[in-house]
Amino acid sequence: MNICVAGLQWGDEGKGKVVDVLAERSDIVVRYGGGSNAGHTVVIGDSRFALHLLPSGSIRKDVTCVIANAVVLDPEVLISEIDGLTERGISLEGRLWISENTHVVLDYHKREDQLREESLGKHKIGTTIRGIGPCYADKVGRSYAVRMGDFRDLKALKAKLDTILAYKNKLFGALYDAEPVEAEAIFEKCQAYAARLVPFTTDTTEFLHTSIAAGKSILFEGAQGSLLDLDHGTFPFVTSSNSSSLGLPSGCGVPARMVDKYIGVIKAYTTRVGAGPFPTEQDNEVGDFIREAGNEYGTTTGRPRRCGWFDGVAAAYGVKIGSVDSLVLLHLDTLTGLKELKVCKAYEIDGQEKTFFPANIDRLAQAKPVYETLPGWDDDITEVTTFDALPAKAQAYVQRVEEIVGRPVEMIGVGPKRSQTIVRQ
């Protein structure tokens, strides 16, 4: 069985936890997009792992991990992740494959990300400054891109970097009056990256097709979420890749029809980091309650996340564009203690009720959420292991989310730990 796990909101839905749980029954876990802007958390007992580039299946020692072509890879981050896991007794030797076509994020991409954000002032996107946008822009532009396969020929890479830095330095100087970046310094780092990462580099498309033909089961791990998708999200307040599951086929070379099941991950409420419209945002004591109870601070940047009520219109949109079969609903425990819970089931735009999410931000900015109010519960649910043992009001909340979003919830999170997961029969 090949399964895709993708977020249906603005990221941080808890994909890392879900992938870790499902990886138990998978041979291979594939990251098919995004870069070190992602922060995927896995908590096992008292151990916490925050992964940015390695697939969340990497914690399980018998799982093979693939970083596919559409990822933008920051070698510094990946090497420190590999070393960090190795120090904790989890080696990646012989079970990590990186696509030779994967584009490489280098220091000048992070510099460009930062310079552009600073220059935009109040119009900034609120990126993670991980060089994601500039690296994808170089990929689309083609002439100044570095891919993992380039690390195999250091002489050619040196010449390429000289050309790239001559171009970038003219740009940085003219646009931002910034200091030049030394090509030599970047090349020195690249030599070290090559020594470490070339042994992991291969044709991952061939590897995946060979594995599928051999009957291996593959788990595809989405990064970010549907609403941050470059084409289908809330542009321009999005990331620079197709971060919905629509990015899977081009992201790793496996066609959508070879995936047996698409799982959409949602939180029991909604969060967003960075700028952009967010109709159900609660910039008040409700939002503060959720942020503290759910520890809603970014895994990658530590930024406080914006918090709000569950948005059924937004989640249902993710279901439609992502051909989602079933849902995983996390952070149900975070809502414990709120007297009343609101769920958005439609938007009112220009006096009309709409249930199809308008990704256009001008229309979205006008959307007034139409809420339904449900009663909250007080009982601690963090030790609950079956759906039937949840308080009736928590069960009713989950059932209403299912009705609004239109798909069954097959797994529920009642805490960050791997063990705090209810699997519905």
List the interface residues with ligand GDP, window 321-350 (CB under 6 A): 330-331, 333-334
List the interface residues with ligand GDP, window 269-298 (CB under 6 A): 294-295
> Which partner in ligand IMO, Mg ion, ligand GDP, none is near 132 (CB below 5 to 8 A by kind)?
ligand IMO
Is residue 318 within the footprint of ligand GDP (CB under 6 A)?
A: no
Pairing of strands 340-349, 310-311: parallel
Spatial distance between the Cα atoms of 228 and 239, rounded to a whole number of angstroms: 5
Is the Cβ–Cβ distance between 280 and 260 less than 8 Å? no
Nearest-approach distance from CB 37 to Mg ion, in angstroms: 9
By CB under 5 A, name the one of 36, 64, 240, 299 that touches Mg ion: 299
The residue annotated as part of the active site, out of 12, 74, 113, 150, is 12
List the interface residues with ligand IMO, window 28-47 (CB under 6 A): 34, 37-40
- Tell me whether residue 177 is one of the annotated catalytic residues: no
DSSP SS3 for 406: coil
Is the Cβ–Cβ distance between 317 and 7 less than 8 Å? no
Residue 119 DSSP code? H
Q: What's the distance, Cα to Cα, between the start and end of the chain in Å?
A: 18
Spatial distance between the Cα atoms of 4 and 28, rounded to a whole number of angstroms: 12
Peptide bond into 75 cis (omega under 30): no
Is residue 306 within the footprint of ligand GDP (CB under 6 A)?
A: no
Q: Which two tokens stand for residue 187?
A: 């090349």
- Tell me whether residue 40 is one of the annotated catalytic residues: yes
Is residue 126 within the footprint of ligand IMO (CB under 6 A)?
A: yes
By CB under 6 A, name the one of 4, 6, 8, 12 that touches ligand IMO: 12
Is residue 139 within the footprint of ligand GDP (CB under 6 A)?
A: no
Is residue 308 within the footprint of ligand IMO (CB under 6 A)?
A: no
List the interface residues with ligand GDP, window 9-38 (CB under 6 A): 11-17
Which of 239, 243, 269, 298 is CA-nearest to residue 12? 298
Selected range binding ligand GDP among 117-125, 253-261, 319-327, 408-416, rule: CB under 6 A? 408-416
Question: 363 — alpha (psi -120 to 50), left (phi > 0) or beta?
Answer: alpha
Residues that bind Mg ion (CB under 5 A): 12, 39, 299
